[in-house]
Amino acid sequence: MKKKDIIDLIEKLKKAYPDATCSLDFETPLQLVFAVMLSAQCTDERVNKTTPILFKRCKTLEDFINIDIEELEQIIRPCGFYKNKAKNIKLCANQIKNNFDGKVPQTADELITLAGVGRKSANVVMLEAFGIAQGIAIDTHAKRITTLLGLTQNKEPEKIEQDLLKIIPKEYIKDINHLLMWHGRNCCIARKPNCKECPINIYCEYFN
């Protein structure tokens, strides 16, 4: 796909989803780190119903460090995989305190050293908490849509991200993070894609 086509594709998505933003509710970088962690294998809607209870109970980093793990597990249980997520939250909180002076690190390389934080999560935190669009979060929507568009032939998220970073102009990286997710949720739905109404179907190898 030529550069002008990629720009046209993104502009069409921007027109279709003018309100595309991060779907997770948070007020601080620390809250976002844990919200993203909880969103693994879970809907953002469910996370947003759980985090108000969690953030009311744990208002500070020390609260996350000191909360009894069984109490934490019960709070986050609706988000699934709660035992592993609770363990990562506790470990992550301790790492932030001991390794980063109690502040969420502001580089992707540092973020991925935290328990429960992978490349995708680091990209989300960098963009949403610090306003730095230095990568593309490859979730199931981004993976499916970019494959259908022929923008990548890779299956691994990190390789897909690198493919996209090579062809998407830097000024559009911030937009594409939100747009792919919104398009996947609202139109290019995995089991029942609404191809006829798709604003970018002229570029889709599946549709054409």
- Where in the sequence numbering do the catalytic residues fall? 120, 139
Closest by CA position to 2, among listed 192, 122, 194, 168: 168
Which tokens in the block code for residue 79? 């988000």
124 close to 29: Cβ distance less than 8 angstroms: no
Q: Please, is 146 exposed, middle or buried when counting C-beta atoms within 10 Å of its C-beta (0-12, 13-18, 19+)?
A: buried
